[in-house]
Chains A and B, each alone.
Chain A
Amino acid sequence: MQTPMVQIRALSRRFQQGDVEVLALDRVTLDIAEGDFVALMGPSGSGKSTLLHIIAGIDRPTSGQCIVRDVDVATLSESALANWRNSHVGFVFQTFNLIPVLTALENVELPLLLTGLSAAQRRAHAEAALELVGLSDRLRHLPRQLSGGQEQRVAIARALATDPTLLVADEPTGNLDARAAQDVLELLEVLNREAGKTIVMVTHDPKAAGHARRIVRLEKGELSPDAAAGLAT
């Protein structure tokens, strides 16, 4: 059997909030196979974002491991981790987080600046990514000249630009109307089924979760029992 792409082992994360200590993740163990599309669900404050941040290498666990393609992410130095994020993770935010002063194309090119690609190659990659999300006709638009749905699709193109190992999304439809949300979810589904992208998506919306291959539930920082069932299949 092939080793899972992401292996999460007894992962805990504590936060200090003033005098109280919050256990955001409590010994979570989870595998994510290559080509999977996981919807991470659970009530507010259950630790979904925290788990996603650790998988994406923008937060470190208090204990336990998160191994992505044989690399224990927590062991990397700050700057090695930045490099790792650039080549292995595409992050999609609820609030899109495009750079407002850069055009759609420039936003998508941004992560490519850290690769060894030539200017022409960067441009070709960025254009291809924008074409993939159906925005070839919006290359020179600034974020404020785009609709929310279009902005999020640019953000997905930016996340895809470096062809990362993992695409992670934290409530990617949370700020979109139903129609735009539907477009984004269909896009993610296509990326998973046709381009074979491995996706981890946090969502509150059962309908959104319906686009995933499998649902993992968190409850007060712990995986709920039916998630364990998901691990079995």
Chain B
Amino acid sequence: MPIPIRYNLRSLRVRWRLSLATALGIGLVVAVFVMVMALAQGLNATYVTTGDPRNLLVLRQGSTAESNSQIMRDEVTRMRYTEGIARDAHDVPLVSAEIILLVYLERRDGSGGANVLVRGMKSAGLALRPQARLVAGRMLAPGRRECVVSQRIADRFSNCQVGESFRSGATEWHVVGIFDAARTAYESEIWIDSDEARAVFRRDFFGSVLLRTDGPEGAATVKRRLEADRMLQVRVLTESDYYKEQTQMAGPIRFMGGFLAVVMSVGAAFAAMNTMYAAIGARTREIGTLRVLGFRRREVYVSLLGESVLLALVGGVLGCLLALPLNGVATGTIGWNTFAEVAFEFRITPGLMGKGMLFALVMGVLGGLLPARMAARKPVLDALRAA
């Protein structure tokens, strides 16, 4: 049987100040890691959940985002009659030509302003996005400079509540409704009527066309048809793929989080090592005694390494507790492609906390390796002679 763990626990407790300081150091690293990853995860989740695999998004060939794509009106007409597009109850093809614009709005917390994505569309756009539900007010009526605002944008920006209005250029937009888009990317948008958008912003082209097919296979067929059409010169991808492509934004955040955590963890691992050297140095004779009693080198090694890991895991738990209040907190960032605000939530999942604990464990092992080895290798007599 190994050296009992309570021996390690109590030894850590005896030097509790040093133990706690070390655990906190490790906890801080774990907290930073979990927070940054929660940011990346939240952003990712927003994009991954957006999009219906039956929906196809049509962009100008060579465009990477709706905001830098141009689709002409006659092209939309041509698309509308492509075979394989689903129809609504009135036998009208489910095709939504949309205009993407940016308006500059002030934040409610007074920290300045940001661009918010405005989408001009017709009712087909709503039919294609069933995840969006009106939660306050009513749907906009065309021709009256009305708009509906997503819940998160309404929460974060001034003049976006029902009954309020905001200016863009010479036009005053009246907020008549708030919609909830089930944590998708549409949570970061304001919707207006597309004809008004074209008139007010003097656009005679659309940004993108969203259309419905009868399923993933139908989507593939229609995609092939549209892309093969020489009159169109478009890029077609499923709505899901388009938003998945946007998740590349989370990549740099992940990288930064990982990098930051690794750099910090080197420091924390050294702190753990230092603590273990001190803890073991003060217990050299004790360790010699354990050896005299019959415990082998390996048992001493495992016990002390375990002590370091224990210390690190306490730190890991502290770190997770430190990060946890951030779970579900809404935040925003500038979209990579659209240059508009993307609203999302920090997402701290059990899996992420597990990764944080794993990270702590690695720090504990790295910190404990050398001190434990030193202690286990020391000849019994030398250990007993220590003061």
Contact = CB atoms under 8 A, between A and B. Distances in A.
B10 A101 contact: yes
A20 B295 CA distance: 33
A114 interface: yes
Contacts of B263: none
Contact of B1 (A53, A56, A114): A114
A85 B7 CA distance: 21
Contacts of B292: 56, 58, 85, 91, 97
B21 interface: no
A193 B7 CA distance: 36
Interface in A86-114: 86-87, 91, 93, 95, 97, 99-102, 106, 110-111, 113-114
A128 B350 CA distance: 49
Contacts of B381: 53, 58-59
Contacts of B289: 93, 97, 99
B358 interface: no
A85 B10 contact: no
Interface in B270-318: 285-286, 288-298
A102 B294 contact: no
B260 interface: no
Contacts of A93: 289, 384
A162 B14 CA distance: 29
B46 to A, nearest CB: 50
B11 interface: yes
A205 interface: no
B293 A86 contact: yes
B10 A113 contact: no
Nearest to A142: B10
Interface residues of B, number: 26
B166 to A, nearest CB: 67
Interface in A177-192: none
A101 B14 contact: yes
Contacts of B286: 97, 99-100
A107 B95 CA distance: 80
B3 interface: yes
Nearest to B4: A113
A97 B13 CA distance: 20
Contacts of A70: none
Contacts of A85: 292-294
Given A97-B285, A99-B289, A113-B1, A82 B295 contact: yes
B380 interface: yes
Given A93-B289, A113-B1, A101 B11 contact: yes
Nearest to A99: B286
Contacts of B285: 95, 97
22 contacts: A58-B380, A58-B381, A58-B384, A59-B380, A82-B291, A82-B296, A86-B293, A87-B294, A91-B292, A97-B285, A97-B289, A97-B292, A99-B289, A100-B14, A100-B286, A101-B10, A101-B14, A102-B6, A106-B4, A111-B293, A113-B1, A114-B293
Given A82-B296, A82-B297, A101-B10, 13 more contacts: A58-B381, A79-B298, A83-B294, A85-B294, A86-B293, A93-B289, A93-B384, A97-B285, A97-B286, A97-B288, A99-B7, A99-B289, A101-B11
Closest 7 CB pairs of A and B: A86-B294, A101-B10, A113-B1, A97-B289, A82-B296, A111-B293, A58-B380
